[in-house]
């Protein structure tokens, strides 16, 4: 679906305003958005580095590259799920494509992820990981993460208006998702059983693995795998957008 220059300008303004609405608009709120995953890294490193981190080079950085994308996914989808209700006057009264509210919310969190990855890049340098040409692939992986968050957010934003209790269910799901994502353990730790297959079906797993391949290993990710992730998440985003547009005429009734 194409948008004119007016819609794109509106998307830009919505993205800026939503980024300012978050606690990142204050210095300490901005600082906390990075301290939070760093504190988690410290806790997980303290408890797991002797067993789960055994044989993993730079386990602290390994944790950081798992927690940052996971935290971004959890925060972005949770906030985007509520965006139609949070911006109720725009949802109910203004005439414009309402999916722009969800897209702008997702983009505002993508800004945070981009900045966080810059800090991860600096941390990798401090850990002794040398810069490499593979890091040129980072924007592609950031785009995959954006598409993943977008299609999940589009679906959740519609479902939330119809059934508000889904927010509590989703928060419980996110707690489970932390253990279904290789944040503090490696995929090899799971062996070859059902647990490994379940974790491998988690799309966030593949995004995190790409970040680690690029920043931690300094290796170029397999081109076919990157293309596959872009295509799959792109198709899912397109399908979620069609679903959103089908629900859009009745959104105002549920706000």
79 pLDDT above the threshold of 70: yes
pTM (two decimals): 0.90
Give the model's confidence band at 196: pLDDT under 50 very low, under 70 low, under 90 confident, else very high.
confident
> In this structure, are residues 22 and 72 in contact, taking their beta carbons and an 8 Å threshold?
no
Tens of pLDDT, residue by residue over 144-193, are 999 999 999 999 999 999 889 999 999 999 999 999 999 988 887 887 77
pLDDT, average across residues 2-16: 83
Q: 25-50: per-residue pLDDT in tens?
A: 555 555 666 677 777 778 887 877 77
- Average predicted confidence (pLDDT) for the chain: 87
Q: What was the pLDDT predicted at 33?
A: 63
Contact 204, 181 (CB under 8 A): yes
Mean pLDDT of 18-29: 64
Cβ atoms < 10 Å from Cβ of 129: 18
Q: Per-residue pLDDT for 18 more than 60?
A: yes
Whole-number Cα distances in Å, 222 to 42, 66, 239: 31, 19, 26
Contact in structure between 68 and 109 (CB atoms under 8 Å)? no
Per-residue pLDDT tens over the stretch 220-237: 998 899 999 999 999 999
For residue 30, the model assigns a pLDDT of 59
Q: What DSSP assignment string belongs to 230-252? A: HHHHHHHHHHHHHHHHHHGGGHH
- Higher local confidence (pLDDT), 53 or 167: 167
Tell me what pLDDT residue 201 has.
93
Mean per-residue pLDDT for 17-30?
65
The pair of structure tokens assigned to 123 is 């941390």
Q: How far apart are CA 9 and CA 196, in angstroms?
A: 44
Q: C-alpha distances in angstroms, 208 versus 20, 66, 76, 246?
A: 27, 6, 16, 32
pLDDT (0 to 100) of residue 134: 86
């Amino acid at each position: 679906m194409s948008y004119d220059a007016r819609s794109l300008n509106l998307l830009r303004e919505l993205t800026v305003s939503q980024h300012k609405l978050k606690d990142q608009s204050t210095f300490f709120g901005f600082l906390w958005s990075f301290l939070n995953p760093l504190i988690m890294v410290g806790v997980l490193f303290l408890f797991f580095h002797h067993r789960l981190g055994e044989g993993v080079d730079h386990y602290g950085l390994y944790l950081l590259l798992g927690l940052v994308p996971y935290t971004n996914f959890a925060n972005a989808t949770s906030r985007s799920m509520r965006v139609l209700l949070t911006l109720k006057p725009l949802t109910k009264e203004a005439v414009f494509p309402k999916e722009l509210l969800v897209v702008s919310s997702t983009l505002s969190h993508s800004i945070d992820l981009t900045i966080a990855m810059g800090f991860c890049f600096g941390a990798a340098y401090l850990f002794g990981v040398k810069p490499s040409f593979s890091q040129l692939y980072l924007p592609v992986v950031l785009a995959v993460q954006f598409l993943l968050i977008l299609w999940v957010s589009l679906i959740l934003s519609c479902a939330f208006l119809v059934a508000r209790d889904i927010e509590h269910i989703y928060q419980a799901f996110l707690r489970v998702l932390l253990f279904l994502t290789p944040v503090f353990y490696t995929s090899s730790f799971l062996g070859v059983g059902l647990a490994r297959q379940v974790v491998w079906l988690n799309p966030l797993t593949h995004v995190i693995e790409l970040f680690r391949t690029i920043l931690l290993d300094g290796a170029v990710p397999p081109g076919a795998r990157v293309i596959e992730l872009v295509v799959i998440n792109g198709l899912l985003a397109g399908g979620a957008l069609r679903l959103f547009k089908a629900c859009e005429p009745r959104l105002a009734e549920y706000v």
